[in-house]
Amino acid sequence: MLSQKAKYALKALIALAEIADDELLQANDIAEAQNIPKKFLDLILLELRRHGMVDSRRGKKGGYLLLKPADTIMIGDIVRAIDGPLAPIPCASVTAFRPCPDCRDHKVCMVRKIMREVRDAAAGVLDHITLAEAAQTKSSKKTKAVRRAPSR
């Protein structure tokens, strides 16, 4: 399950992906626009900075910006940075494999087999959507909503 922290990270990064390349967003503005508690957002942005996804500039006109182009950042990378491996159990993980202590042979374990399919399905979606696509989808929904509004 996606943690609240990862959900907020996605919302913050989508907000950063929606602005022009030479613009910055202040944490207060992101928190208010995305309905994220400011103190929690500060911790999330610090973690995203440690993972090389965002940078910050100090000063009156400071704020946050993406370090890489939004079309090179995969949603799966963001989720992994915040929540860790996508696998629901450690024995199904590609990057953090650990055998279960109660399993006699993980190579034939049906629970592991099913959880690997869950992991692969999640990765199949999350590793094929860029941050730019997520931001574009959000923007296009706003545009469609505006176009559908009745004129008076």
Residue 137 dihedral angles phi and psi, to the nearest 5°? -60, -45
What span, in angstroms and rounded, lies between the C-alpha atoms of 24 and 59? 11
pTM beyond 0.75: yes
* pLDDT at 139 (0 to 100): 52
Counts of helices then strands in the chain (DSSP H, E): 6, 2
Give residue 149's pLDDT band: very low, low, confident or very high (50, 70, 90).
Answer: very low
Q: Please check whether residue 133 is in contact with residue 70, taking contact to mean a CB–CB distance below 8 angstroms.
A: no
Domain ranges of the chain: 1-72, 74-129
Q: What one-letter code names the amino acid at 102? A: D
| Sign of the torsion formed by the C-alpha atoms of 13, 14, 15 and 19 | positive
- What does the pLDDT look like over 116-136, one tens digit per residue? 999 999 999 999 999 999 998
CB atoms within 10 A of CB 31: 21
CATH classification (class only), 1-72:
mainly alpha
